[in-house]
A and B are shown apart, each in its own frame.
Chain A
Amino acid sequence: MPSVKRLMRDANPVPGDRPGTEARAEARLAELLGGPARTAAPRRRILVGVAAAAVVLAGAVTVGAVVLRDAAPPSSPASDQPFYPTAGELEGSAEAIVRGTVGATRASAGETVATFAVSRVATGTPRPGSSIRVVFSASGPEQADGIRQGGEYVLLLQARDATSWNLVNTTQGYYTVDRGRLVPTAGNPVTLGPPTTTALGLS
């Protein structure tokens, strides 16, 4: 079965804007701000005009203005995120749970690629003292926007390929380490279990 996200998005009745929307939106903005006297032609009048012209030109089968131009901005694949309501499920979803510091970061095709210096490992193949490459979404409605260069974090990771890792999701895939304590993101109610936090040297 395709994912729920895929099914829903494929059935979206209004996936993008109609032709001319952007120009009319700009004209209406100018009207609101009292800017240049570009009058937004009423939408109904435009549709009638287009329909009439098409009837004259071609008999007009396709005028109904259902041709879509700009699709909605694509979301990151990570935005169809699983949510893990318990520590057991969240930790079980991770192939590696590590503590460390974010080093260099760079943007690549809508994603952020970060070098992460591992200091402690609760589970998984990374070794303390090693550096791993972590890739996470930098676009779409959900982003791991709390991760900063130089910050200390606990990351819950899934292998992306042979050389890099992904967060399990953008709200539960990382915890900030603040003075020896774990701080989850605002959307994450889950506290990691004591065996994990102990292995990571945290309270």
Chain B
Amino acid sequence: MGDAPPEQRFTELYRASHGRVLRFVARRVDDDAEAEDLTAEVFRIAWDKTTGGDVLTPAWLFVTARHVLSNHHRSVRRGDSAYRKAAVTGPRADERTADLVAEVLERLPEAHRDVLVHRYWDDLTAGEIAALTGLSASAVWVRLHRARQAFKRSYGAEVRHAQR
């Protein structure tokens, strides 16, 4: 793919990654139209880079999406790590479960919360999470393992508390 013409490289990357990048962005803003506009900005930057000779990866797109989101959140004075509330917008989840998951995520340390969200909501690979977090891929697996353990403990406690 690295030897392909820039337009072909970009088109392949765009079609393979647009949906994932859009959903990544949409989980971090409150408005669908905003999410599409911010995603378009990510790919505009990617196209500029591609015409400049860079060979980009999906991981690069997610890192760029985070920067674009960060600028956006600064402009609207929101925190970077804000996620949509699953209990409010998640149409598939059992509402009580979604509430509990949201509460547990809120209470986890940010590093644990982020790795769980990247893995299970954003569907990122260990390599992509590594690019976003600055960790090695093996450290991502270790962190994910610990985050799952922490989530289980906290979720179990929430369920027991709810049953009292």
**Interface residues, chain A, with chain B CB atoms under 8 Å away:** 1, 4-5, 7-18, 21-22, 24-25, 28-29, 32-33, 42-44, 47, 65-66, 68, 70, 72-73, 75, 80-83, 85, 141-142, 171, 186-189
Which of A1, A24, A68, A72 makes the CB contact (< 8 A) with B152? A1
In this complex, which of B19, B86, B141 has the most chain A Cβ atoms within 10 angstroms of its Cβ? Answer: B141
Q: How large, as a class, is the contact surface on chain B?
A: 35 or more
Chain B contacts of A68 at CB under 8 A? 91
Q: Which residues of A contact B89 (CB under 8 A)?
A: 13-14, 66
Report the Cα distance A29→B40, complex, angstroms: 9
Question: Are A33 and B101 within 8 A (Cβ)?
Answer: no
Binary interface profile of B, 115-142, with partner A (CB < 8 Å = 1, else 0)? 0110111011110000000000110111
Please give, as numbers and ranges, the residues of chain A lying within 8 Å of B101 by CB-CB distance.
7-8, 10-11
Given contacts A7-B101, A13-B84, A21-B22, contact A33 B11 (CB under 8 A): yes
Q: Are A186 and B137 in contact (CB under 8 A)?
A: yes
Residues of A within 8 A of B123 (CB): 72-73, 75, 141
**Contacting residue for B32 out of A5, A65, A82, A189, CB 8 A:** A65
Q: Which residues of B contact A16 (CB under 8 A)?
A: 23
Decide yes or no whether B85 CB sits under 8 A from chain A: yes
For A18, the chain B residues whose CB sits under 8 A away are: 32
Say yes or no: A83 contacts B145, CB within 8 Å: yes
Q: Provide the bound-state CA to CA distance between A73 and B16, in Å.
A: 11
In the complex, per-residue mask of B88-130: 1 if CB is within 8 Å of any chain A CB, else 0? 1111111001100110000000000000110111011110000
Closest to B159 in A: A1
The CA-CA distance from A172 to B56 in the complex, in Å, is 28
- Asked if residues A25 and B102 are in contact (CB atoms below 8 Å), the reply is no
Q: Which of B1-47 contact A (CB under 8 A)?
A: 7, 10-11, 14-15, 18-20, 22-23, 26-27, 32-33, 36-37, 40, 43-44, 47
Residues of B within 8 A of A10 (CB): 90, 92-94, 97-98, 101
Known contacts: A17-B23, A32-B43, A47-B33. The answer to whether A12 contacts B145 by CB under 8 A is no
**A28-B43, A47-B33, A65-B32 known; A13 vs B27 contact (CB < 8 Å):** yes
